[in-house]
């Protein structure tokens, strides 16, 4: 039986420190305090940044096989601590235990991919003699670490989204300071415990839980060369405005759509759409929020969706039969409940769900939603989706694009031409065919356009963001 500790340290310049036990972290299902951990103040954050500055040169000098060895050590240790990591995630995030185990698997995958990529950092030989004045000149470029990085991770995937920042930073040789979400810091702290077992240079990493209002240095400090943030759009764009000259990478979510065309395999589309809309209580930036259904199959698919949604088991996420756990807080559940009531008040039909008790919100489906309501315009980030009927594929693409967000879209179709048409026309970071927009593999380029963010995650692509090109020009005559 896995048991969590009562108290956890923070990690400052590679070492565990316990300056206080100020941060209380609750079990998201019971609401009781599950454990306490140290909370960083401005002085501690400043020390972490200074440590990263001092570690920049020795980190850059590490051989690629040495960086790979650190990442492989993490892979091995995470495998041995699999049950602990999954249980911790289930408790601190309220994520059903089966989904928590799935995220630990992805954590391991992400570090494994980074270990592989750490020895593939290549450059290019470039001929420069494109005109008579450059005859006899040759160029060579390589990628070098950008320097100290600030990493801010969210509550909904506290293991794997932290991994998508930490693992690429180590792979390229960038020291970092990380601020995990204060509601779910334990996954990142366990990563810190594992990293502390390695021979990384002093100052290579600091993992510092801190409340948002006390963590301005993560964004504003000029010693940091890159800010990588995953979270809400409002917070992300505000941080970018304060970040100064440093490079900024933002992954900010959206209100993802899935298209069910007339030729779709409806049974398959049903299973995947239910997953996409309600997996981990809909708290995913690529969770299905808008379900577009062709008029020819609308009634049939709507009835299938409603019937299946009503069978979803909700309750204690530690129960292996539970599919719907609590939202991250009662406040977030109240917010989304109010959005549902707004939509119904403006003419939407409540097909199923809609009831809330504390942080538990039923899996909810709506139709006839007013386009001006929050549930259509904003990111729901909870177990709510709504249905839209369309008559032509062109119309469906226009509806998907009618959003300030553009992260991913899913399309169930067997038409090859429509697939390429969607890939050309949809203003999103990724198009997923015959699956939901919620699908992601950890080596693929992942990110959005418009209000959904800047840059791409996915290990190799994050590594590119964490490096700069350094050119060498040689005159040979």
> Helix 298-309 crosses helix 266-278 at what angle (to 10 degrees)?
50
Backbone angles phi, psi at 184, to 5 degrees: -140, 65
Distance, in Å, from the CA atom of 83 to the CA atom of 468, rounded to the nearest integer, reads 38
All residues at 6 or more sequence positions from 326 whose CB lies less than 8 Å from its CB, including other chains: 28, 29, 94, 281, 317, 333, 358, 359, 360
Distance, in Å, from the CA atom of 49 to the CA atom of 144, rounded to the nearest integer, reads 20
Distance, in Å, from the CA atom of 208 to the CA atom of 150, rounded to the nearest integer, reads 11
DSSP conformation letters of 429-472:
SEEEETS-TT---TTS-B--EETTEES-BSHHHHHHHTEEEEEE
Q: How far is CA 156 from the centre of its chain?
A: 8
Question: What is the token pair recorded at 320?
Answer: 């292996």
Q: Which runs of consecutive H residues, i.e. helices, occur in 261-324?
A: 266-278, 298-309
Q: Could you tell me where the beta strands, DSSP code E, fall in 216-333?
A: 226-230, 247-251, 257-260, 290-294
CB 354 within 8 A of CB 345: no
Q: How many CB atoms lie within 10 A of CB 104?
A: 23
Q: How far is CA 256 from the centre of its chain?
A: 14
Known catalytic residues?
251, 285
Distance, in Å, from the CA atom of 23 to the CA atom of 187, rounded to the nearest integer, reads 15
- Write the secondary structure of 118-180 as one string of H (helix), E (strand) and C (coil): CCCCCCEEEECCCCHHHCCEEEEEEEEECCCEEEECCCCCCCHHHHHHHHHHHHHCCCEEEEC
CB 325 within 8 A of CB 95: yes
Q: How many CB atoms lie within 10 A of CB 52?
A: 28
């Amino acid at each position: 039986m896995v048991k969590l500790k009562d108290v956890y340290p923070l990690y400052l310049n590679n070492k565990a420190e316990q300056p206080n036990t100020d941060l209380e972290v609750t079990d998201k299902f019971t609401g009781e305090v599950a454990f306490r951990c140290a909370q960083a103040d401005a002085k501690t954050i400043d020390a972490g940044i200074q440590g990263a500055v001092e570690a920049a040169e020795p980190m850059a000098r590490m051989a690629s096989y040495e960086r790979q060895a650190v990442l492989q050590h993490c892979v091995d240790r995470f495998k041995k601590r699999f049950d602990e990591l999954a249980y911790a995630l289930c408790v601190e995030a309220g994520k059903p235990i089966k989904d928590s185990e799935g995220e630990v698997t992805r954590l391991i995958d992400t570090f494994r991919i980074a270990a592989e990529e750490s020895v593939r950092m290549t450059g290019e030989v470039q001929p420069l003699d494109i005109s008579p004045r450059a005859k006899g000149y040759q160029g060579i470029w390589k990628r070098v670490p950008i320097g100290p990085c600030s990493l801010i991770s969210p509550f909904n995937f506290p293991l794997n989204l932290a991994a998508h920042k930490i693992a690429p930073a180590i792979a390229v040789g960038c020291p970092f300071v990380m601020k995990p979400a204060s509601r779910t810091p334990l996954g990142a702290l366990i990563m810190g415990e594992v990293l502390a077992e390695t021979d990384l240079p002093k100052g290579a990493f600091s993992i510092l839980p801190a409340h948002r209002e006390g963590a301005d240095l993560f964004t504003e400090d000029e010693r940091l060369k890159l800010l990588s943030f995953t979270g809400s759009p409002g917070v992300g764009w505000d941080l970018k405005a304060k970040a100064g000259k440093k490079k900024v990478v933002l992954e900010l979510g959206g209100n993802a759509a899935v298209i069910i065309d007339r030729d779709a395999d409806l049974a398959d589309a049903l299973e995947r759409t239910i997953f996409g809309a309600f997996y981990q209580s809909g708290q995913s930036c690529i969770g299905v929020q808008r379900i577009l259904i062709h008029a020819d199959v609308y009634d049939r698919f709507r009835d299938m969706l409603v019937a299946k949604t009503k069978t979803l088991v909700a309750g204690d996420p530690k129960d292996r039969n539970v599919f719907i756990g609590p939202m991250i807080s009662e406040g977030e559940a109240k917010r989304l409940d109010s959005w549902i009531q707004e939509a119904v008040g403006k003419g939407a039909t409540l097909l199923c769900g809609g009831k809330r008790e504390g942080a538990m919100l039923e899996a909810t489906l709506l139709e006839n939603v007013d386009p001006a309501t929050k549930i259509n315009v904003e990111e729901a980030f909870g177990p709510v989706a709504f249905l839209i009927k369309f008559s032509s594929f062109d119309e469906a693409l226009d509806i998907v694009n009618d959003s300030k967000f553009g992260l991913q879209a899913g399309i169930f179709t067997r038409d090859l031409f429509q697939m390429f048409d969607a890939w050309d026309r949809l203003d999103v970071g990724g198009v997923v065919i015959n699956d939901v927009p919620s699908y992601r593999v950890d080596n693929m380029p992942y990110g959005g356009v418009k209000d959904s963010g800047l840059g791409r995650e996915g290990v190799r692509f994050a590594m590119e963001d964490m490096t700069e090109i350094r050119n060498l020009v040689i005159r040979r005559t």
